[in-house]
Amino acid sequence: MITDYLKAGFPTILLQTQEPHRADELMRKIPEWQICRWDCVSGVHGMAMSSFTLNEIQNPVEAVQWLSTVKDTVLIAHGLQHFLDDPVVCQSILNGILRWKSVGNCLVMVSPLPTLPIQLQPFFHLIEMKLPDEEALMRLQAEIGETTNIRTNRKASRLTTGLTEFQAETAFSLSLVKKGYFSSKVITEAKSQMIKKSGLLELYPPADMQNVGGLKKLKSCIQNRAQAYAPDSSLPKPKGILLVGIPGTGKSLSARAVASMLDFPLLRLDIGQLKNSLVGESERRIREATKIIDAFGNCVLFLDELEKMFGGVKGNGSSDGGTTSGMFSHFLTWMNDQTGLHGGSREGPGKTP
């Protein structure tokens, strides 16, 4: 993943990930370079073939300067982003860049967010470390089940996509403790922690389609289109469903029943809850919300009273500084980029998006 950039002589890399331990394991396997790790508690210590410890180098400036004293070395810096508000730390990095490039060194800063001071942005190359794919999760599941002779479950593995390796491992283990096998239901419950901890979405209870009166064409449509979500299906997946009507006609109940018919979790997105008084924070929160939806995997996204969520978009944005327009623009772009959105959306009385 990073080897090509090291061979090309990149002196600074920002590795964006929420899995610092997995990043260490992947970096440890890189040949031809001395791989070292630093944090403000443990100091500098060698990984892979080189094994040494410099516990006294806890100061970030000293760690950056130490990198200039060696050759062909990669220093994985954990938590360095917390010190970048200090101009001394930033200047130490700027001073070392040309030296590192000339001797084959690289500073790899591991951070969950791509935040850099403006003076460092031109020198860092951003690499986003992807979450484990389905095959990697299957191997992890097989390793956990091997010791207890539990058979793997492809559906359970597919449900854990979007989780970190640590989260997937704990979900698999919890499933074995509670059920004695890899249960899709337990893994879905564990995955719902993503929603609860984010505070950006709600995990909503589905409803039985039998409780929805009438709407035979809608029920027939869902039953037919549900085949597109089968693992081996090549049918095009619907982008969404728009339900329009006066209040009390069962639009919300129908949207919840769609999740029950597809056997998918139901997520509710409230744009109003995403808005924040800080400049740019509302746009960041909706980007984060859509990112969580993508990571969650197969689900139904429930948008209630859509016309109120994006009310005022047609205006000039003078009432909120263009915040709603910016959020709406990102949402439309995200919807357009979906090759097969996992579910349906619902609109309020008498309007279209």
In-domain check, residue 350: no
Same-domain check for residues 250 and 330: yes
Residue in 203, 201, 200 with CA at minimum distance from that of residue 190: 203
Do β-strands 53-54 and 43-46 pair in parallel, antiparallel, or remain unpaired? antiparallel
Please tell me the total number of residues recorded for the chain in this structure.
353
pLDDT band at 302 (very low <50, low <70, confident <90, very high): confident
* Residues in a beta bridge with 125: 13
Confidence grade of residue 153 (pLDDT, cut at 50, 70, 90): confident
pLDDT digits (tens, 9 = 90+) for 122-138: 999 999 998 888 888 89
What CA–CA distance (Å, rounded) separates 339 from 63? Answer: 45
- In DSSP notation, 113-135 reads S----TTTGGGPEEEEPPPP-HH
Does pLDDT of 297 surpass 80? no
Q: Same domain for 211 and 327?
A: yes
The residue among 57, 80, 83, 87 whose CA lies nearest residue 70 is 57
Provide the 3-class DSSP secondary structure of residue 54.
strand
Query: Three-class SS of residue 244?
Result: coil
**Rounded Cα gap, residues 180 and 261, in angstroms:** 27
Domain-ending residue, one of 191, 214, 238: 191
Query: How high is the pLDDT of residue 351?
Result: 28
Work out the mean pLDDT of the chain and round it to a whole number: 82
pLDDT digits (tens, 9 = 90+) for 57-99: 999 999 999 999 999 999 999 999 999 999 999 999 999 999 9
Q: Which residue has the higher pLDDT, 192 or 46?
A: 46
pLDDT per residue as tens digits for the range 9-19: 999 999 999 89
| 273 in the same domain as 155 | no
Asked if the structure places residue 347 within a domain, the reply is: no
Report the sign of the C-alpha dihedral through residues 166, 168, 169, 171, in that order: positive
What is the pLDDT averaged over residues 273-302? 75
Same structural domain for residues 270 and 145?
no
Does 140 share its domain with 221? no
For residue 4, what pLDDT band results from cuts at 50, 70 and 90?
Answer: very high
Range of the domain at 82: 3-128
Provide the domain count of the chain: 3
- Read off the pLDDT band of 311 (50, 70, 90): low
pLDDT at 319: 56
Instruction: Find the CATH number of the domain harbouring 80.
Output: 3.40.50.300
Q: Are residues 27 and 52 both part of a single domain?
A: yes
Q: What is the value of pTM for the model shown?
A: 0.72
Domain end among 96, 128, 160: 128
pLDDT at position 277, please?
59
Q: Which amino acid is at 278?
A: L
In this model, does residue 313 exceed pLDDT 80?
no
What is the per-residue pLDDT for 256? 84
Is residue 348 included in any domain, yes or no? no
User: What values do phi and psi take at 297, rounded to 5?
Assistant: 90, -150
Position 50 pLDDT exceeds 80 = no
Higher-scoring residue by pLDDT: 135, 239: 135
* 171-210 per-position pLDDT tens digit: 899 899 888 888 888 887 877 777 777 777 777 777 887 7
304 contact partners, CB below 8 Å, separation of at least 6: 252, 255, 268, 270, 346, 348
**Four-CA torsion 341, 328, 291, 333, nearest 10 degrees:** 60
224/164 same-domain check: no
